[in-house]
Chain A
Amino acid sequence: MKRLVQGNEAVFLGAIRAGADFFAGYPISPSSEILVLAAEQAAKDPGFRFIQSEDEISAANAIIGASLAGAKSFTATSGPGFTLMQEAIGYAHQVEVPAVFVNVQRVGPATGMPTMPAQQDVMQIKYGTSGDYYPLVFYPNSVEECYRYAITAFNAAEESLSPVILLSDAFVGHLNEVVDVDAIEVEAIPRGRPSLGTGKRFFTGLTHDEEGHPRTADAAVYREWLSRIRTQHEKVAVHYSDFEFKENPSSDTLLISFGIVSRVVAPLASQFALFRPIRIFPMLSHEIHECAQSYDKIVVIEANDGQYAWLVERELKRDIVHVPLLGGRINLDLVKNGLSEKLRREVV
């Protein structure tokens, strides 16, 4: 049935559709609706487990424990909470634990502007925990996509045996749109790994060999592990190379944006070509190269001070123009002003 659904609610409903049966979290704006919905779900469905944790560190570790015990688990937070979860995310990469971390971004750093949207966790998501790792990250830009990519995130986590990040922002999370979630078809991949209490395995955050035995001073074991993880994640990422490209043969400029900013930029399709990565990481290298090759100028518009722009620049090895939308204000006038200033011509 068609009805008004909020972005955060769609994330939750998508998680349920994916078979999620465990949530742990700590209240934080602008993600708290997801925690509240999970609490309500647990109250009506005894098969759904819920912990309101004492902090985000606890929540992140709880969803790891739940996953090892056989649940499909997730948590939802925002920038500062996501920072507290970083160590656990690294652990989940090391131990190969599938779980979904939802990050509804707000303006930072620190407590920042708790109810205002931002896209300032791009680098935190890619490089926030210690060591090398290759996270899979999706960033929907509509309520329908929140639902769709919540399911996708669980599937990608299951396939890659890794923590997958579902990015959102205060704007997308609090957006209300009319959708019929029941009409959205995304198949959910079931849990694969046998749960705790069935074997004699050892799950450790120490570098370990294939049997799980700690090997903490053997570079060859480490290199083999990292190479295997990288290949595994790259193989899974190929199944989810999602993006949106609107070419424009009459323009010499390609605008790259994602999440809520891509919605704001959409009316400029008649003047520019538009590219929107949905799988933010691993970067859609091949697709960005392909789409960028016919355009002289590449502009990345994002609600941070150039985090993804820097990565696109490194990827394309070309000069990139970046238009930052800062302080939680995101609208078309700001985009046009930014473009006019950076492109040195009036954009109307």
Chain B
Amino acid sequence: MFKDLLKLELFPTTWCPGCGIGQLMIQLAMVMEELGLDHTNCTIISGVGCTGRLAGYFNVDGVYTLHGRTLPVAEAVKLVNPSLEVIVVSGDGDLASIGGNHLLHCARRNPNLTVLCNNNQVYGLTGGQAGPTTPRDTKTVSSPAGAPYDPVNLQNLMKAGAKYFYAKTTVYHQVHLRSCVREAIAWPGFAFVDITSQCIENNGRRLGFNSAYEMLLHFRRTYKRAPEGAETLGPYEIGIVRKG
């Protein structure tokens, strides 16, 4: 059972009802079960923020690093113990803002890591401030007149390297999400999975959604599968682009 991989005794989790991280956690546990990953061959490294707490709910050794520092920790763990499956799970603020320099250089060094980015486009834990992935003009508590800048383009950032693996999916598209995670784990280098996810309490309501369910329906309506063989994903396309 995939539930055996989770510390159910610690439930309910710290996350708000309707949070997308719970869905990511369940899908990851299902893929781990499928691939035979457990405490003997896998470790989860997570960063600070709501998503950072995820590592603590798995029945494997987990590390909740400093804010932004998942990648230096994970890369070192993998280098010291190459047989260990090292999965990084963190938020967009952690990976793309405070950890941005590490993302740039870790991707360049291309260690065999799987990075799952719970991308809810906001700093949820601290109350809903704009982050590096917040779309331009979005009103947040720290951008009352609308976010003034274009968000970081994670796909282009990843594709800057000679070798890359970038997957885009959402927590609504669960079969696709699982397939992205599976492929990322199988990829023999740095694999980045950009997972659009909902933060209803500190972002969604301000955007006009009444519930997490409405946000998920929004993902269903707006995100479409990229055409087979696409080399670049459009803004609302889910799929995988890679070059080995």
Contact A22 B65 (CB under 8 A): no
Chain A nearest CB from B85 CB (Å) reads 9
Chain A 56-83 residues near chain B, CB threshold 8 A = 57-59, 61-66, 68-71, 73
Within 8 Å CB of B53, what residues of A? 214
Contact A196 B81 (CB under 8 A): yes
Contact A59 B72 (CB under 8 A): yes
Within 8 Å CB of A203, what residues of B? 61-64
Q: Is B174 an interface residue (CB 8 A)?
A: no
Contact A54 B42 (CB under 8 A): no
Contact A200 B59 (CB under 8 A): yes
Contact A197 B43 (CB under 8 A): yes
Within 8 Å CB of B81, what residues of A? 69-70, 195-197
Chain A nearest CB from B70 CB (Å) reads 9
Output the nearest chain B residue to A216 by Cβ-Cβ distance: B14
Contact B56 A202 (CB under 8 A): yes
Q: How far is the CA of A62 from the CA of B73 in the complex (A)?
A: 5
Q: Which of A196, A201, A212 contacts B84 (CB 8 A)?
A: A196
Chain B nearest CB from A293 CB (Å) reads 44
Contact B66 A61 (CB under 8 A): yes
Q: How far is the CA of A59 from the CA of B104 in the complex (A)?
A: 15
Chain B 36-75 residues near chain A, CB threshold 8 A = 39-43, 45, 48, 53, 55-56, 58-66, 69, 71-75
Contact B40 A197 (CB under 8 A): yes
Within 8 Å CB of B61, what residues of A? 196-203
Q: Is A184 an interface residue (CB 8 A)?
A: no
Within 8 Å CB of A65, what residues of B? 45, 63, 65, 72-77, 80
Contact B72 A57 (CB under 8 A): yes
Q: How far is the CA of A206 from the CA of B62 in the complex (A)?
A: 13
Within 8 Å CB of B163, what residues of A? none
Q: Which of A51, A63, A197, A200 has the most CB of B within 10 A?
A: A197
Output the nearest chain B residue to A71 by Cβ-Cβ distance: B80
Q: How far is the CA of A203 from the CA of B56 in the complex (A)?
A: 8
Q: Is B242 an interface residue (CB 8 A)?
A: no
Chain B nearest CB from A203 CB (Å) reads 5
Name the interface size band of chain A: 35 or more
Within 8 Å CB of B7, what residues of A? 200
Q: How far is the CA of A234 from the CA of B71 in the complex (A)?
A: 33
Contact B56 A51 (CB under 8 A): no
Within 8 Å CB of B66, what residues of A? 61, 87-88, 91, 205
Contact A196 B101 (CB under 8 A): no
Q: Is A246 an interface residue (CB 8 A)?
A: no
Q: How far is the CA of A202 from the CA of B65 in the complex (A)?
A: 10
Within 8 Å CB of B62, what residues of A? 201-203
Within 8 Å CB of A198, what residues of B? 39-40, 61
Q: Which of B40, B41, B80, B104 contacts A49 (CB 8 A)?
A: B80
Contact A199 B39 (CB under 8 A): yes
Contact A61 B65 (CB under 8 A): yes
Contact A54 B76 (CB under 8 A): no
Q: Is A213 an interface residue (CB 8 A)?
A: yes
Q: How far is the CA of A206 from the CA of B40 in the complex (A)?
A: 25
- What 1/0 flags go to A182-200 for Cβ under 8 Å of B? 0000000000000111111
Contact B101 A55 (CB under 8 A): yes
Within 8 Å CB of A73, what residues of B? 76
Chain B 94-136 residues near chain A, CB threshold 8 A = 101-102, 104-105, 109
Chain B nearest CB from A197 CB (Å) reads 5
Q: How far is the CA of A144 from the CA of B75 in the complex (A)?
A: 34
Chain A 1-55 residues near chain B, CB threshold 8 A = 21-22, 24, 49, 51, 53-55
Q: Is A204 an interface residue (CB 8 A)?
A: yes
Contact A63 B105 (CB under 8 A): no
Q: Which of A54, A71, A198, A214 has the most CB of B within 10 A?
A: A54
Output the nearest chain A residue to B59 by Cβ-Cβ distance: A200
Contact B64 A49 (CB under 8 A): no
Output the nearest chain B residue to A95 by Cβ-Cβ distance: B63
Within 8 Å CB of B105, what residues of A? 53-54, 58
Within 8 Å CB of A54, what residues of B? 101-102, 104-105
Q: Is B10 an interface residue (CB 8 A)?
A: yes
Within 8 Å CB of B59, what residues of A? 200
Q: Is B79 an interface residue (CB 8 A)?
A: yes
Instruction: Please give the residue numbers on chain B whose beta carbons come within 8 Å of chain A beta carbons, in ascending order.
Output: 7, 10, 39-43, 45, 48, 53, 55-56, 58-66, 69, 71-77, 79-81, 84, 101-102, 104-105, 109
Additional A-B contact list (11), CB under 8 Å, known A71-B76, A87-B66, A196-B77 = A51-B76, A58-B101, A62-B76, A63-B76, A65-B80, A68-B73, A70-B80, A71-B80, A197-B40, A197-B41, A200-B58
Instruction: Please give the residue numbers on chain A whose beta carbons come within 8 Å of chain B beta carbons, in ascending order.
Output: 21-22, 24, 49, 51, 53-55, 57-59, 61-66, 68-71, 73, 87-88, 91, 195-206, 212-214
Q: List 18 A-B contacts (CB under 8 A).
A: A22-B80, A24-B76, A49-B80, A59-B72, A61-B66, A62-B73, A62-B75, A63-B76, A68-B73, A69-B76, A69-B80, A70-B80, A71-B76, A87-B66, A196-B63, A198-B40, A202-B63, A205-B65
